């Protein structure tokens, strides 16, 4: 079963997603370059909660007028399976990648959230007793003396419920055309409320749960979409003429954010010449959030 979006066939299936917890931090720096460097470092090796304990990505670039200290900034979303996981990962990553980065400061991007996780409250111990704090407009910040000068960090960050694992699968006649369509989808998807945790927003090694040959592997290659294996496996999902497949994994701050991100991605990939579009699921038994592609036929 399928339906068209433009000239592209869309498989009548659904993406399956699951609840996660997330936080947002706002990283600022003296220049856009250093804000971006910190954000890239912080979101590195955060592609999959299975292998990296969290998923994180740059949400968007912030103009100076949008940040608490009036400097150029970047907002970052970080997802984990529970609040404790978010708390551990955010401390590790801000501590190693933002505090270490020249000129940066780090702010809570979810002020007013009911649930929080400590950030500066933990990182302050790096100051070895020389830390100090200021309460500014009702929020406490920690000042950590460092070799460059001073690192300013919010005492805590908000933690909210989010949705992880939304996805779009982009199929093309060859790797070049499939990648071009996937890139177009990424460009359309990126924005407020969504994180694309894989490199450049695209994963070329989509996975299935578990592995046939090793109990140590929590996940293994999605052989159904691997062109190499089309003639080798019985359950290949690749139609004739498909030479390459990419997946775009979408974590969002809400079900609606993921749904609309998938809609933008589907229509952009179709316009960019995707041969076929699909989505990954696990039969519906893994996650409570289902996103039928048939409900995304209307353009954004």
Partner 1 sequence: MTLTLQLRAEPPAPVDASVLTAEVSARDVLRCGRERLQVGDLFTVTGSVGDGLILDGDLRRFDGIGRGLADGEVVVHGDVGDWAGADMSGGLLAIHGSAGNRLGAAAPGARAGMRGGEIVVTGDAGEEAGAGLRRGLVAIGGRAGPGAGLRMLAGTVIALGGFVAEAGMGNRRGSLVSGASLTPLPTYAFAARMRLPALGLQLRRIRAVGLPVADELLAARWERWSGDGLELNRGELLIYDGESKHSGPSKLGLASSLREHRGGEAA
Out of 17, 36, 68, 291, the only residue in the binding site for partner 1 (CB under 8 A) is 68
Verify binding: residue 256, partner 1, rule CB under 8 A: no
Out of 89, 143, 177, 259, the only residue in the binding site for partner 1 (CB under 8 A) is 143
In angstroms, give the least distance from the CB of 71 to partner 1: 8
The kind and range of the H/E element at 132 are strand 132-136
Out of 4, 51, 70, 292, the only residue in the binding site for partner 1 (CB under 8 A) is 70
Report how far residue 272's alpha carbon sits from residue 176's, in angstroms, rounded to the nearest whole number: 12
In angstroms, give the least distance from the CB of 134 to partner 1: 5
152/188 with CB nearer partner 1 = 152
Measured from the Cβ of residue 192, the count of other Cβ atoms closer than 10 Å reads 12
Verify binding: residue 156, partner 1, rule CB under 8 A: no
Q: Count residues contacting partner 1 (CB under 8 A)? A: 15
What residues contact 53, with CB distance under 8 A and at least 6 apart? 80, 85, 88, 89
Contact 36, 170 (CB under 8 A): no
Provide the Cα torsion 125, 98, 42, 191; round to 10°: 130
Residue whose token pair is 């990419």: 246
Out of 137, 147, 212, 234, the only residue in the binding site for partner 1 (CB under 8 A) is 137
Phi, psi of 20 (to 5 degrees): -135, 175
In angstroms, give the least distance from the CB of 179 to partner 1: 41
Verify binding: residue 31, partner 1, rule CB under 8 A: no
Contact residues: partner 1, CB under 8 A: 68-70, 105, 132, 134-137, 141, 143, 149-152
């Amino acid at each position: 079963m399928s339906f068209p979006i433009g000239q592209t066939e869309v498989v009548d299936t659904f993406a399956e997603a699951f609840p996660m917890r997330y936080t947002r931090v706002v990283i600022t720096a003296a220049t856009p370059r250093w804000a971006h460097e910190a954000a890239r470092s912080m979101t590195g090796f955060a592609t999959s909660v299975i292998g990296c304990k969290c998923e994180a990505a740059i949400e968007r670039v912030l103009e100076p007028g949008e940040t608490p200290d009036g400097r150029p900034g970047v907002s970052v979303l970080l997802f984990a399976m529970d609040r404790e996981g978010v708390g551990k990962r955010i401390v590790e990553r801000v501590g190693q990648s933002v505090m270490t980065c020249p000129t940066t400061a780090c702010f809570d991007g979810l002020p007013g959230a009911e649930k929080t996780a400590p950030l500066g409250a933990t990182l302050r111990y790096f100051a070895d007793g020389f830390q100090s704090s200021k309460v500014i407009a009702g929020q406490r910040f920690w000042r950590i003396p460092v070799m460059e000068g001073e690192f300013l960090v919010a005492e805590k960050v908000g933690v909210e419920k989010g949705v992880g694992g939304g996805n779009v699968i982009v199929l093309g006649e060859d790797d070049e055309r499939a990648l071009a369509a996937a890139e177009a989808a990424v460009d359309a998807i990126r924005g407020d409320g969504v994180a694309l945790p894989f490199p450049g927003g695209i994963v070329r090694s989509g996975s299935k749960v578990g592995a046939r040959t090793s109990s140590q592997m929590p996940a293994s290659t999605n052989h159904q979409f691997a062109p190499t294996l089309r003639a080798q496996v019985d359950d290949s999902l690749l139609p004739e003429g498909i030479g390459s497949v990419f997946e775009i994994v979408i974590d969002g701050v809400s079900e609606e954010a993921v749904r609309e991100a998938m809609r933008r991605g589907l229509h952009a990939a179709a316009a960019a010449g995707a041969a076929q579009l699909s989505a990954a699921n696990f039969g519906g038994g893994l996650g409570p959030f289902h996103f039928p592609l048939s409900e995304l036929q209307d353009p954004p």
